[in-house]
Amino acid sequence: MSARFCYNIFLSVVVFPFAILCKECKEYSEYAYEKIQSPALLLYPYVTKKLECDFQRNRLVVGSTLAARREFPHMALIGYQPSDEIRWLCGGSLISENFVLTSAVCLFTMHDGYAKLVRIGFTNKTDPTHMLERTVSEIIPHPEYNENKYHDIGLLRLSTDINFNTYVRPACLQTEYYIPHILAIASGWGGFNITEDGSNDLLATVLEFYSVNECNNTYKRGIAVRGKLKDGIVDDFMICAGISKSVRSTCQGDGGGPLQVYHQETDEIKCMYDIIGVISFGKACGLVKNVPDVFTRVSAYIKWIEDIVWPV
């Protein structure tokens, strides 16, 4: 959302709910700054702000690389505890003090039960520095999701609020259907192929957008299966993206994570992303080239998200 777009929204009663998102996005961007207190001995103490983010706008070259330490401060890892061992199987995006956006399929798994824990503020699973952990207090699937691969989006309410800093802060949400970009970034702790466990390090993968026709051609067998994708890939609430010259796009462990683009920078908002999609499903990663993955289009669910996360 551009500054001008936000300003117009504030003036419009019809689309007033979007004004909440603009306001929150601006507030969250403040946490990209480290606040430095002047020495207490000074007669007039003051606070200065230093922009601290590992934002890599030069990242937009198709392929996968390790994420920098503060590059995706909204990135969440979702854990399940069917026994004494915690299994970290899905990703998500922090979008407020106490809500994580993810896929509906990540809310519950047949073998591991309901999502129980969320970790955020880190990139390497073995390094707890700046890591925050919260238990999940409520699981909210989209009401139209019924395992047919449509409306694969959900929310996790956290037990206690997150205190934001340069390592942990929410992302903004894309509110418009039109996406003025040709590339987007998926991030997660997924493996490099179907036979691998998830990565210890957070990975970022730059993806190309695919047309609905290209995507439908890829998934035509699934479309033919009764009860799954019976209407094909629906552009109104799905996005297709992948890598035309690589066998890896997203993989096991990436599900529920964000597909994001850089938020338009202004004097007031810097180092922020717009979440445009939630990783939903794909074909066997690491085996076949030029196979797009399917993402739930976030802009189609803005009112549903707002009514839960920021009720008026």
**Residue 27 belongs to a domain:** no
**Residue 13 belongs to a domain:** no
Q: Where are the beta strands (DSSP E) in the chain?
A: 33-37, 47-51, 63-66, 75-80, 87-94, 99-102, 108-109, 113-120, 132-141, 154-158, 172-173, 183-188, 203-210, 238-242, 258-262, 273-281, 293-297
**Residue 93 belongs to a domain:** yes
Host domain of residue 234: 56-68+171-300
What is the number of structural domains in the chain? 2
CATH number at residue 289: 2.40.10.10
pLDDT of residue 182: 92
**Residue 83 belongs to a domain:** yes
Q: Are residues 163 and 184 in the same domain?
A: no
**Residue 9 belongs to a domain:** no
Q: Are residues 188 and 225 in the same domain?
A: yes
pLDDT of residue 195: 52
pLDDT of residue 54: 80
124-167 pLDDT, tens digit per residue, is: 999 999 999 999 999 999 999 988 899 999 999 999 999 999 99
288 pLDDT band, cuts 50/70/90, is confident
Q: Are residues 161 and 177 in the same domain?
A: no
- In the chain, the percentage of residues whose pLDDT exceeds 70 is 84
Q: Are residues 263 and 282 in the same domain?
A: yes
Query: Can you give the pTM of this predicted structure?
Result: 0.90
45 pLDDT band, cuts 50/70/90, is low
Q: Report the residue count for the chain.
A: 312
**Residue 64 belongs to a domain:** yes
**Residue 37 belongs to a domain:** no
pLDDT of residue 194: 59
Mean pLDDT for 100-119 is 95
Q: Are residues 63 and 207 in the same domain?
A: yes
176 pLDDT band, cuts 50/70/90, is very high
Q: Are residues 161 and 269 in the same domain?
A: no
